[in-house]
Structure 1
Amino acid sequence: MASTQGVNVLRYSALVAGLVYGVYHQSTLTSAAKRAEIEHEYTRKERLIEQAKAEWKKRSEPQETKTQASGLITDFENPKFDLEAFLQAKAAENP
């Protein structure tokens, strides 16, 4: 009878150990999946920010290149700024 009790103790010990390992393993998998989801969301947001920056740059760039393409300096602090040329360009823009 002593051997049957020892076997039962061994069986239940193995069962409890298996349950504890199962809970631990499941929590490890769940936390890894959550971390992967958070990282995926972060990279998606980074990509959207980069796209928005590129779109903004593309939309704001043509105005700057139009004034630079004509050779007109619009910076008042620049020593090469020509007020007469600036005023003539503004007058030509507004009919």
Structure 2
Amino acid sequence: MASQGVNVFRYSALVAGLVYGVYHQSSLNSVAKRTEVEHEYARKERLIEQAKTEWKKRTQPQETQQQSTGLITDPENPKFDLEAFLKAQA
């Protein structure tokens, strides 16, 4: 038979192991949650950046289309041609 001192040591080790297991599991869960939040934040950043890029693409084509045709739309420019501008608008 085991003495009382050995039984106290066994149960103390068991309780200490359980406490350590709970602590370790909670620390692993918190790291996993933090990583998940960081990934979600990075995903949202990428989506915002893509949306900004798409917005620029949708608002810029009018300007780039006029530049690619060589049409000058600034009436203050000395090379401005009203007739060509009106034909392009029609």
Cα offset for 1:59? 1.7
Give the length in aligned residue pairs.
Answer: 89
- Paired with 2:15 and 2:8, the residues of 1 have a C-alpha distance of 10
CA RMSD of aligned residues (A): 2.6
Cα offset for 1:82? 3.4
- Paired with 2:89 and 2:73, the residues of 1 have a C-alpha distance of 18
In structure 2, the partner of 1:92 is 87
Unaligned regions of 5+ residues in structure 1, if any? Answer: none
In structure 2, the partner of 1:33 is 32
Unaligned regions of 5+ residues in structure 2, if any? Answer: none
In structure 2, the partner of 1:17 is 16
- Paired with 1:67 and 1:94, the residues of 2 have a C-alpha distance of 11
Structure 1 counterpart SS, 2:72:
coil
Q: Identity of paired residues, percent? A: 62
TM-score by length of 1: 0.74
- Paired with 1:42 and 1:29, the residues of 2 have a C-alpha distance of 20
Letter in 2 for 1:82: P
TM-score by length of 2: 0.77
- Paired with 1:45 and 1:75, the residues of 2 have a C-alpha distance of 43
Cα offset for 1:37? 0.6
User: Deviations 1:38-63 (Å, cap 9, x if unpaired)?
Assistant: 01101111221122122122222211
